[in-house]
Structures are given as C-alpha cells and as structure tokens.
Amino acid sequence: MITSENISLYYNNTEILSDLSLHINAHESLAIIGPSGCGKTSLLHIFAGLIKPTSGSIFVNHTPLLKPRRTTALISQHYSLLPWKTVFENICLPLHIQKVKRSAFDARTKATLTMLGLNHVKSKYPTELSGGEQQRVAIARALVQTPDLLLFDEAFSSLDAITRDRLQSELKHLHQSTKTTMIFVTHDIEEALYLGERILVMSTQPGTVFKTFVNPSYHNPDAKMSQGFHQLSNQLRQTLNEVMHDAN
C-alpha cells in the first residue's frame, strides 16, 4: 500500500531521515520502534501527507502522495477532543466537515460507537471521561471516516498499564476484523510485538531502516505468554542496543 523510495528529510539544516526506503503491504500492521529523536514521528507525518520529504518519493496505492488523503487517519497520544462537544458530536465531526448526509453520518457514528463500546458515554463530554475512554473516542473519530490507513503515534503511552493492555487488545481485534492497514509508532518493545505483524527498527538520527523483523506470534491469541514472543522481545532489545552502540 505504501512505498517510500530513498526518503530524506532535513529540518534547519539537520538531517532527520536519511535515504529511507520501505514497502508496506495493504492490510498489514507495522510497528516502528527506535531511539528517541530518530525520526519516527516525522516518518509517520510523511505517510500522513502532512510533511513533504526533502528528497525521495512516496506512493500510496501506487499514487504519488502530494497532500493529506481523506482516507488516512492519524491518532496521537493527545486526544484533541473538543471539550464543548459530546462524545457523539466529537466522533461525527469529520463527517460534518466532509458534508456527509445527516442520515448517513448518524448511521456510521452509531455503528462506530457500538464497535468501540462507547454507547454508554455518547452523551458525555470529554472532561467526564477517563483517559482510556478519551483515547477510544479519538480512535472512533478516526474510524468513522472509514480509513484505509490508520497511523498511531505513541497513542497509548500516557495511559496506565491496564487501560493500555485493554486498548491494545481492542486495536488488534479491530485490525484483524477490518483489515485496515495500520502503522504504530511506539517506544515499547512489548507493544510493538503485540501490535505488529512486522517490526521495523530505526537507526539513530538521521533515521533510516536498521532492521526489520517478521513477528510469528502476531496471530497467536495468547501471544504475550508464548515462548516466541519473549524470544523475539530479547532479539529486539539486542538490536536496539546495537543501534545505540553504532551511534557511539
């Protein structure tokens, strides 16, 4: 679905990304990890069409990416919900902007509320919700647009461990049921292993592809308890140590 060819990115004469080439399959769930400052978020913003690379090319569905796509959704750790609107109104906001017919956006919003288990809070305001509920609303607001590409930037990093585990499970179920292409940037090795069919490890700045891993545990419902999960976790830790060693 996404092909990036020799992407480089400079900001204020500093090279953020260097000669990065990557192919991401349609319906794939890809996790990206790497040291702080290696350009993970910048790469995600390039995939979203929010930043143009200084050099190189990027294609989505074989079409050059020159601006943001309506069917790409970006979700960050900052929920960005409008505090004066209810959960229902926050979720259907993108449909208002797209001028979708009222009958259609009502049906889509109700279906998305049900999918994310938010019916019981649909009339509440963001300040009345827990952090996990607010993040679920942010995900619902993205899904109501029926995206074919979902980008997550450290989306669960500010949540407590129990809420994070629950949302990880919900997101994995969502991917397996909708087959939406997902890219998940995280600092957490276990999160990358749980959510990524493939894991990309980036180098230190300037960021590029250091190594990729295929994750055989992804489709295992008890992945976190499997021996393969822990073996690959150790390999990823070793690889990240190599990245830092090479930087020094």
**Model confidence pLDDT, tens digit, residues 185-232:** 998 999 999 999 999 999 998 999 999 999 988 888 777 778 888 889
Planar angle of CA 211, 215, 221, nearest 5 degrees: 155
Burial class (CB in 10 A: 0-12, 13-18, 19+), 120: exposed
Residue pLDDT, tens place only, 133-161: 898 898 888 888 888 999 999 888 877 88
State residue 150's pLDDT score: 93
Domain ranges of the chain: 80-146
Average pLDDT, the chain: 89
Q: What are phi and psi of 11, to 5 degrees?
A: -140, 120
Q: Is the peptide bond before 206 cis (omega within 30 degrees of 0)?
A: yes
Entry pTM = 0.89
| Backbone φ/ψ region at 13: left (φ over 0), alpha (ψ -120 to 50), beta | left
